[in-house]
Structure 1
Amino acid sequence: MSDAIASCLLLIGVLALFCWDRYCLYVARSELAALQRAARRDPLTGLANRAGLADAWTQLAPVRPWVVVVDLDGFKPVNDNHGHAAGDIVLTAVAHRLRTVHGVAARLGGDEFAALVCDPDPTAAARQLAAAIAAPVRLPSGAVASVTASIGLAPASPAGLAAALADADAAMYRAKTTRTGIAVFDPRRDDHATADTRPTVRVRDLAPAVGVGR
């Protein structure tokens, strides 16, 4: 009888150890998955970051989404006049409005955003987005902050996401300099070299993350 009890206890111990190992493995995998998801999200806005945008491009490339680059106008005065906390509130509000696009939105850094838009009329979608971004944001102090957007659009490029982002960025620069608000990439009018003379061309930082031809 004692041998049978000992065998049962041993079996229970082995099963308990096995279950514990499986539980630890499950927890480790869950934590790893959470870290991987976090690594593809912008911590302030919750939008995709550069890596997340690259993942979305890989998934959406077969449907050839339009690539949109959004740069905020009037954001620096918000920081200067109301503080960086207010600036973060405005960025979060803009991110919320970007989530209305039919596609995937991302924050590239600072006050520059991007989106992969799966819309039959991307220009109309960009106009709606510009109007949404221009809506005032009420701050906790009671003050109202307003920004507008310069938006560049480009069709999916066979050369990959980095190339399409560069096209959209060049169009955005034309929209900003001509104060038209929105511009569609035109290789006859948009000069990448001219756009690259800006102090910071943030979409170029994406090249190591997304590569060419993905």
Structure 2
Amino acid sequence: MKWVYIAAGIAMFVKMLLIPNPTLNLTDVSIVELVVQDSGVPNAVSGIIFRNRLYDTIFEVVVFTIAILGAYYLLANEKPTTTIYQFTDQPSIVLARLGATITALVSIELAIRGHLSPGGGFAAGVAGGTAIGLVAITSPSVWMQALYKRWHAATWEKISVLIFIALAVVTLSGIELSHGQLGTLVSGGAIPLLNILVAVKVALGSWAAILLFIRYRGLL
């Protein structure tokens, strides 16, 4: 079997040397314009991530999920830390909560309008995770854990991943929603929905990781 792998590698190398890659004639048209027309969203980056390279994006979401599971596995045999130091002075608490509010609003904006302007699901999820982190460093860990369980965040995280994968598979199979009018909020087919699902997944996954590391390692 080893020789089969070696032969395949040599054949691929010869192919790269002898067969040139096809090139496009870009004298009259822009790649960005093609992506915008093809995806139906002004943000060409979102069009590429959630349409042209959607297959890659599926595995990016899966990798993030595996990373959270890996954190659980890494800390499974450790004892929770007995002392968790947090910000207790009022100015720090006020500033952190204010920053969390602003960041949460930015996260929502990036999620629902990421297909129209710079932003998107991953950026929105990171902003949401940052907001949760700012609240976590100024709040009792027991209260944060209880809130996490009360809102069934772990369940919603899993549901968002399953819906994302299902919607992505439908899109890859050639079934697309109507693109609508370019530049409007309800446009771009499934891209806005994929943006929101990724934002929910990343934010809730970040919440789980933050609680996990605070519980076992304290505030680093």
Structure possessing the higher relative contact order (Cα contacts under 8 Å, 6 or more residues apart): 2
| TM-score range normalised by the length of the shorter chain | under 0.3
Whichever structure has more helix as a proportion of its residues is 2
Q: Give the number of the structure whose alpha-carbon radius of gyration is greater.
A: 1
Normalising by the residue count of structure 1, what TM-score does the alignment of the two structures yield?
0.27
Whichever structure has more strand as a proportion of its residues is 1
Normalising by the residue count of structure 2, what TM-score does the alignment of the two structures yield?
0.26
